[in-house]
Amino acid sequence: MGGAIAAQYGSSTGQKQQYFGRIDPFVMFAVVPLVLMAGLFIWSDIAILGVVLIILALLVVAIDSWANRPVKKAAARDRDSDDY
């Protein structure tokens, strides 16, 4: 009961902002070539550069997901508090 009342009045209970959101499909235009190049570098015995490119691709996806996180909704205002 207490949690429901706290959530109703704008307490932080239940209103936690997500750290990551949906991944934009257009980010794959950057990630797929990075992963393909990483595969080529790993196949041609330059594994350290391939690993760096894979880490870079994961970083691009993480930043995109962070940028697309949902916005925290503001608490609803009480209509009875208006002084007209």
Specify the DSSP class assigned to residue 70.
P
Report how many domains make up the chain. Answer: 1
Specify the DSSP class assigned to residue 19.
S
Burial class (CB in 10 A: 0-12, 13-18, 19+), 63: exposed
pLDDT at 30 over 60: yes
Average pLDDT over residues 3-18: 57
- pLDDT, mean over the chain: 80
Confidence of residue 16 (pLDDT cuts 50, 70, 90): confident
**For residue 22, what are its two tokens?**
């949906």
Q: CA 36 to CA 14: how far, in whole Å?
A: 41
Tell me, yes or no, whether 61 lies in a domain. Answer: yes
Average pLDDT over residues 77-81: 60
Give the dihedral sign, CA 49/55/56/58.
positive
Tell me, yes or no, whether 26 lies in a domain. Answer: yes
In which domain, by residue range, is 55 found?
17-68
Tell me, yes or no, whether 7 lies in a domain. Answer: no
**For residue 78, what are its two tokens?**
């009480």
